[in-house]
Amino acid sequence: MKPDNIDRLTKLEELRAAGVLTDAEFAEEKRKLLSAGSTRWPLIIGAGVLGIAALLVIGAWLVPGQWSTSVAPPHPTTPHPTTPQPVLTPPAPVATTPPLAPAERLARAFEAATSHRRPFVQTVEGEAFTITPVRIVDLPFGPALIATLEMKDGCHACTGFLSVYYLAEDQGKTVVRAAYPEAVSGWGWGAGPSDWDITNRFTANPAIYASGGYTGQGVTELGATITELRPEGPITSDLIGTGYSDAGAISDDNPRKACELEGRIANVVRDKGFDVIVTGSVNRTEHYGKRQGKFVPANKQDWGLPCGG
């Protein structure tokens, strides 16, 4: 065998080892080489070179990290810098005090005003008075406690009162801002006003409209007062006459016609004034206007002798 044939045979063995040629193809090419010499060898070598090149391309295609049909994962991108956003911290819950039952609220207010939670007896200028909580009124500037101050064994000319205490309430605690123990006067026998209510009819601030009367020596007089609950303190009107009768004073020795009158409030202009329409034994109109913070009559009438002497 020629030396060049030996080299060619060696190439064929390398192609077979590389998988380019099968055993059958190798045997056929070897037979042709030995029988035909070198006439077809260039073709065989060319085919071998092409086979090796194809094998390298296929191998590179399949090796991870080289050319591949799979889609390469996207490269991580660096986010654009942004302005840091403040972290919002929710506010801490505010502790709230549940509303008190009306009876407990009244008891606490009375305790703040008098150091007692229930009615009690107190000596004032040698006289025994019973102090009793009545109600709480919510005014525009804060709550107010109303209590009665009444003499236990009152005399005919003795009077009781409605007491008013301005309060402050905060987180279940009650304190007294101002006290007015004799805010509204009663009508005699040591009693406070028995017929009263809170009204917005007459004044800019809520007011206590209290009415009542007394009888002495056969003469009955009825009247009313308007006590405005102002932020600086209560202020009470002059007495407003609403009724009169001296029928009980008529006797056989004094046979005269009774003087009987009735006064009715009308024509109210809030925070300005009103009229009292008087009918009965005499007929007239009395006008009340607001002066220095309280209602006073424009022309003072004598309700002691309303029908004349």
Mean pLDDT of the chain: 83
Are 267 and 292 in a shared domain? yes
Same domain, 199 and 309: yes
Instruction: Please tell me the predicted confidence (pLDDT) of residue 169.
Output: 94
Buried b (16+ CB within 10 A) or exposed e, 259-280: bbbebebeeeeeeebbbbebeb
- Which tokens sit at 60? 């590179």
How many whole angstroms separate alpha carbon 258 and alpha carbon 282? 11
**Any idea which of 6-20, 94-108, 238-252 has the lowest mean pLDDT?**
6-20
Tell me how many domains the chain contains. Answer: 3
In a domain, 276, yes or no: yes
pLDDT band at 69 (very low <50, low <70, confident <90, very high): very low
Same domain, 204 and 284: yes
Note whether 50 and 133 are same-domain residues.
Answer: no
State whether 184 and 204 are in the same domain: no
Interval 186-231: pLDDT, tens: 988 888 998 999 999 999 999 999 999 988 889 999 999 999 999 9
- The verdict on 120 and 41 lying in the same domain is no
Residue 30: domain span = 3-62
Does 183 share its domain with 202? no
Considering 57-61, 214-218, 229-233, 282-286, the range whose residues carry the highest mean pLDDT is 229-233
Q: CB of 135 within 8 A of CB of 109? A: no
Burial label for 294, CB within 10 Å (0-12, 13-18, 19+), is middle
The pLDDT of residue 175 is above 90: yes
Contact 8, 38 (CB under 8 A): yes
Q: Which of 177, 193, 209 is the last residue of a domain?
A: 193
Q: What is the mean pLDDT of residues 6-13?
A: 76
pLDDT tier at 27 (50, 70, 90 boundaries)?
A: confident
Q: For residues 309 and 297, what is the distance between their CA atoms, to the nearest angstrom? A: 21
Do both 181 and 214 map to the same domain?
no
* 235, 295: one domain: yes
Full-prediction pTM beyond 0.85? no
Q: Are residues 105 and 159 in the same domain?
A: yes
End position of a domain, from candidates 155, 178, 193: 193
Give the up-direction half-sphere exposure of residue 104: CA atoms within 13 A in the CB hemisphere.
Answer: 6
218 and 283 in a common domain:
yes
In a domain, residue 92? The reply is: no
| Cα distance from N-terminal residue to C-terminal residue, the chain | 176
Which SS3 state, helix, strand or coil, does residue 219 take?
strand
Domain boundary at 168, 193, 218, which?
A: 193
In this structure, are 261 and 306 located in the same domain?
A: yes
Report whether pLDDT(280) > 90. Answer: yes
Three-state DSSP class for residue 1? coil
Say if 171 falls within a structural domain.
yes
